[in-house]
Structure 1
Amino acid sequence: MGADLVIHAAAAFPTHGTAKFIYSVNVGGTENVLEAARTAGVRRVIFISSTTVYGLQEGRGQKEETFFAPIDPYAETKIIGERLFLDAWKKHHLETVILRPKTIIGPGRLGAFQILFEWIANSGAVFILGDGKNVIQLLAVEDFVSAIVLGSRAPCSGEIFHFGTNQYRTVREDLSDLIGHAGTSSRLVFIPRVPAEAILSVLYGLRLSPLAAWQYKSASQDATVNTDKAKLMFSWTPRFSNFLTMRNNYDWYVRNRTELKKKRGNTHRDVWNLKLMKILEWIS
């Protein structure tokens, strides 16, 4: 008996290699997944895309129809992947569902939040680009798992959906409460956006910072998406707020910190080698 459902979540991130490599993995890999699914008679394939397809467009409540403005090969290949999935539905009648999540964090998935957690755990300064009054939207891994499960059986195909928490505040408010929860002497330090972005760009080019351009350039912007379509067609409701998502992940990180530091890498599941980013922690 063959597979009935395939979830395509694999992708090369900007830190994983050249644009050529990222295109090879993300586009070539997606083509292979769809071809294998058709050959095997799979009923439905779910594609994990990304809201990075919108680039640096600032705003709250962006809808699925918002125009694309990618700023790196990763986002470009996600757009191509979406088009391949839509074509598979239109041309081959393969059921396809495309999910665009906001930043996913949770136990086992750290990414850039490792930097914040380290600063807080060490009672260091927590550096914020801009004034921290902007709003970002996260997604707890538990909420995204429920979205995938619902997407596997929802009566729809050839559709795109947003996913993110519906409970969020300003960056300043959420991080202040996280420091309070941690009980350390960390403090928020607000740094001018333009010079900070210039420095981070240089560090990234020298492979001394793990933060890709869309990560640090969007850090000071309002960036939320509208999830009404998912709520209507999936009956999906997120359970975790931004703060609860960060709090749970911080607690998990602190409990597993010693063991995690034995594993280095550049994926969302690894502890990153921060190199010169450690200097900021020491100065703070």
Structure 2
Amino acid sequence: MAWLITGGAGFIGAHVVRAMREAGEPVVVFDDLSTGDRSRLPADVPFVRGTTLDADHLRRTMQEFSVRGIVHLAAKKQVAESVARPLYYYRENVQGLQSLLDASVDSGVRAFLFSSSAAVYGMPDVELVAEDTPCAPINPYGETKLAGEWMVRAAGCAHGIATASMRYFNVAGTATPGLADTGVFNLVPMVFEKLTEGAAPVVFGDDYDTADGTCVRDFIHVEDIASAHLAAALALMDRGPGTDLTVNIGRGEGVSVREMIDLIGEVTGYGPEAAPVAAARRAGDPARVVASADRIHRELGWSARHDVREMVASAWEGWCRRHPHARRPAG
């Protein structure tokens, strides 16, 4: 049997491919390359280009490679874009998932892992967000992820597929420079971009009810995200039909935006140049979102291994590799 990894040429997907291959699990990547990059994949990994909206193409792929497990990572994931284009997000993230589940049922898939998000929680007013914290997404992206969890769970129950929904928090870092995130949508690459342009990093709101006035988040290394997927995939195959897991993937430690920017200045050598400027709050940003990681440790024996400094250092190495001529810190 093989694992089909949708979105496997993406930033997170390529790390999941790497982790599963190192564990001896055969994988096939299915990706439309809208944001993915095939060069992230080893040459001997089977690759199929296609969209999850095409159920027939998915069925043929599953049959050709004897797929019995799915890791579904392919999705649109930009919050602001989801607000501007909600129907596009529902089509890609929900209708695409339905097509994939249809093909999975027809092809006898035994295990299905769904890439979810902390966005399903919305703006939780709790110190640590546990899996039983009420879900109240505040944007279409989060809504599509919550709807996806419902669909995966229902299909698994009806058709005897072991299922898991993996709720990521703030992903950063890279395993190798070649697998680094090429987008500039998350805090760490956004700060890198500003610093290498000679501009000050920006914090959106410095008047929150937190220790330093900036938002507090749970940052998790992408290698830890990948190892959590591997642990869940093996557990689903071992436990079989009737298994349904919903787990947070986080470290359970909060780091403020200002603390993270200070650390970036230290690790990269920009020092005082990394002092941020404040801008207005962004609509919908909660003051604090930090995971409780108790359930995933209890259910899968998994814990995060990498700290925030490792995330920044590895991401910076990847950034420098991709931008060899960008401005570097003085001295």
TM range (shorter): 0.7 to 0.9
Residues 134-169 of structure 1: CA deviation (Å, up to 9, x unaligned): 421111110011001000011552120000124543
The structure 1 residue matched to 2:223, chosen from 138, 142, 147, is 142
Task: Give 1:251's aligned residue.
Answer: 317
- Describe how 1:29-40 pairs up with structure 2 within 5 A: 29-40=96-107
Name the amino acid aligned to 1:9: L
Instruction: Say whether 1:121 aligns with 2:196.
Output: yes
Q: How far is the alpha carbon of 1:112 from its aligned partner? A: 2.3
Q: Does 1:160 align with 2:246?
A: yes
User: % of aligned pairs identical?
Assistant: 25
Alpha-carbon distance in structure 2 between the residues aligned to 1:28 and 1:119: 37
Measure the CA separation in 2 of the matches of 1:189 and 1:104.
21
Q: Could you tell me how far 1:173 is from its partner in structure 2? A: 2.5
What secondary structure, in the 3-state scheme, does the structure 2 residue paired with 1:67 have? coil
Pick 1 or 2: higher relative contact order, CA cutoff 8 A, min separation 6.
1
Letter of the aligned partner of 1:6 in structure 2?
I
- Mapped contact 2:173–2:221 kept (Cα < 8 A): yes
Equivalent in the alignment of 1:70: 137
Moved runs in structure 1, 4+ residues, more than 6 A?
Answer: none
Separation (CA, whole Å) in 2 of partners of 1:245 and 1:44: 30
2:252 is the alignment partner of 1:186? no
Query: Deviation digits for residues 44-97 of structure 1, max 9, x if unmatched?
Result: 010000110111224321110111111111111111100001101222211111
1:133 deviates by 5.0
Task: Provide the rounded CA distance (Å) in 1 between the counterparts of 2:213 and 2:315.
Answer: 21
Contact 1:132/1:171 (CA < 8 Å) preserved in 2?
A: no
Question: 1:225 offset after TM fit, Å?
Answer: 1.1
Q: Which residue of 2 aligns with 1:169?
A: 255
The CA deviation at 1:103 is 1.7
TM-superposed deviation, 1:18: 1.6
Say how many residue pairs are matched: 239
Deviation per CA, 1:174-197, whole angstroms, max 9, x where unpaired? 3212201211241423526xxx13
The TM-score, its normalising length taken from structure 1, stands at 0.77
- Map of 1:4 onto structure 2: 68
Residue number in structure 2 paired with 1:41? 108
Q: Which amino acid aligns with 1:135?
A: V
State the AA in 2 paired with 1:236.
W
CA distance in 1, matches of 2:299, 2:166: 13
Q: Does 1:61 align with 2:61?
A: no
Structure 2, unmatched stretches of 5+, are 2-65, 175-179, 207-211, 327-331
> How big is the alpha-carbon RMSD for the aligned residues of Structure 1 and Structure 2?
2.3
Is the 8 Å Cα contact of residues 167 and 241 (structure 1) preserved in structure 2?
no
**Counterpart pick for 2:301 among 235, 242, 260:** 235
User: Contact (CA 8 Å) 1:102, 1:138: kept in 2 or not?
Assistant: yes
Is the CA contact 1:168–1:242 (under 8 Å) kept in the aligned structure 2?
A: no
Q: What amino acid does structure 2 have at the position aligned with 1:77?
A: T
* Contact preservation (8 Å) 2:73, 2:114: yes
1:58–1:251 distance in 2 versus 1, CA, 3 Å: farther
Amino acid at match of 2:218: Q
3-state SS of the aligned residue for 2:109? coil
The TM-score, its normalising length taken from structure 2, stands at 0.66
Whole-Å separation in 2 of the counterparts to 1:49 and 1:259: 36
Deviates more, 1:23-32 or 1:242-251: 242-251
Q: Cα distance 1:21–1:43, how it changes in 2: closer, same or farther (>3 A)? A: same
**Residues 64 and 159 of structure 1, relative CA distance in 2, 3 Å threshold:** same
